[in-house]
Structure 1
Amino acid sequence: MASTFIQSLDPRVTRLQMPEDINQQPLQSEALDQLVTFQVFMQKKEGKNFEHAGIVHAPTVELALLYAKEQYSRRFTCSGMAVAETSTVMASPYTDGGISVYQLLEGEAEATTATADVYEVFHLMKRGKQHEHAGSVEANSVEDAFYKAKESLMPEKPVLNIWLIRRDDLLTVDEEDKDIWNTLPEKGYRDAAAYKAGDKLKDFKEKNEATSSH
């Protein structure tokens, strides 16, 4: 027996061919097809550290890098960019009150083996700021990478949070492709700083004061 479909005054609804008993049918438990998230890191100028810029949703890491370039490097100067799937970012607990997260790490680093991976280390120094690249360590595991970072990268100021990412999990813009950002400094009109209204506002106030005094 053929299914009976909803006949609506709205032809768009009729074309959907939804069964008349659709409200009585059990909900289907299907896997969500949401795109995964990727963390974006940007280097604003040569010689500056990479900083966390935000996230993008994408089906692949290659497209994530493309989306990141479109979203985060159109308005500001940029000399480098990297992305990593969020699931590959290993984060420490957060601390506060002047306590460094490194103080919570109890243990010693292992001797580096031939199969060690390179991990990129990012520090969060202040709430409301972004994680900034602090350096790299070679380690046998994520846990070992935290200990290695404590040995070689711990600053005097307290670190509130640490991110670790295996270098192999980061996709960066190739050197030969960096010329895409060569024209960014010429596009100052995209920045609010290019529109200096202070002098005009000052002149306007002075004219108003002069008019009021007469």
Structure 2
Amino acid sequence: MPKINEPVSPKAPLDQFGTFEVFVQPKEGKPFQHEGSVHAPDLELAWVLAKETFTRRFTCTSLYVVDTREVYVSPFTEGDKNAYDLLPEITEQAGSKKDFEIYQLTKRGKQHVHVGTVQAVLPQEAMVQAAKLYNTGNIVYNVWAIATAAIRFTTPEEKELWLTLPEKKFRDASDYKGGNKLKEFLERKLS
């Protein structure tokens, strides 16, 4: 039962982990795409959990994660309306510019795909910049802007995590040629 005349207090923080968005690069040279989210206490552990969750059996070559609160979202559209057309006009802002990664949703039921990087002061300004650069006339249902500095990228050293042992380049167990290797080993041992 609520109490009357109680002092106003801040809302208690939730006792659960934060949400982090996961972006994967399916193949070298392909753009990153949104793959899902993970819950974790911090950005580093979110990266580890994303690696374990989204990178099984050569499903991607790299990934990165970002706190969900760092993802700025345009209005969603329906039908033949373009999300870029719904953005409020914003003049160029004073201040130091930073890089923003821009993602677009161009097909319903698919994932947001990275289209490029723009420089802006605010996320809203980044979306307006993206409209000038990446609005090709095709329908875009939604746009995301993420400050590049907020992203936990996979480093070049960590990319080795995706590599397999030189002799294990195949997915099918029979392609490992285990029987042949055993036979060769036994023949060498006997001779």
| TM-score above 0.5 | yes
Pairing 1:150–2:116 present? no
Matched-pair contact (CA < 8 Å) for 1:109–1:147: no
Distance 2:134 2:113 in 1: 12
Task: For residue 108 of structure 1, report the CA deviation from its aligned partner.
Answer: 5.1
Deviation sequence 1:124-159 (CA, Å, 0-9, x none): 011110000010000011121111011111123110
- Structure 1 or 2: more helix by fraction: 1
Displacement after TM superposition at 1:30 (Å): 5.8
Matched AA of 2:81: I
Question: Which residue in 2 is equivalent to 1:107?
Answer: 89
Q: 1:187 to 1:87 in 2, by over 3 A?
A: farther
TM-score (norm 1): 0.70
8 Å contact 2:75–2:86 — kept in the other structure? no
Asked if structure 1 preserves the Cα contact closer than 8 Å seen for 2:90 and 2:124, the reply is: no
Is 1:57 aligned to residue 39 of structure 2? yes
In structure 2, the partner of 1:166 is 147
Q: List runs of 5+ in structure 2 lacking aligned partners.
A: 1-10, 174-191
Q: Secondary structure at the match of 1:67?
A: helix
**Contact 2:100–2:148, Cα closer than 8 Å, also in 1:** yes
In the alignment, the residues of structure 1 paired with residue 78 and residue 169 of structure 2 have an alpha-carbon distance, to the nearest angstrom, of: 41
Task: Report the residue type matching 2:45 in the other structure.
Answer: L
**Runs of 4+ displaced beyond 4 Å:** none
Q: What's the CA shift for 1:176?
A: 1.3
* Other-structure match for 1:176: 157
When the two structures are superposed, what TM-score results if normalisation uses the length of structure 2? 0.77
Gapped runs of 5+ residues in structure 1?
1-28, 191-214
Q: CA deviation at 1:84?
A: 0.3
Aligned residue identity for 1:58:
A
C-alpha distance in 2, partners of 1:143/1:30? Answer: 30
**Compared with structure 1, are the counterparts of its residues 32 and 108 closer, same or farther at alpha carbon in structure 2 (3 Å cutoff)?**
closer
Between 1:62-71 and 1:154-163, the stretch displaced more is: 154-163
Letter in 2 for 1:70: E
Letter in 1 for 2:32: F
Give the root-mean-square deviation of aligned CA atoms: 2.2
Note if 1:186 corresponds to 2:169: yes
Counterpart position of 1:120:
101
| Counterpart secondary structure, 1:115 | coil
Aligned-pair identity (%): 40
Structure number, greater radius of gyration:
1
Q: What SS class does the counterpart of residue 158 from structure 2 fall into?
A: helix
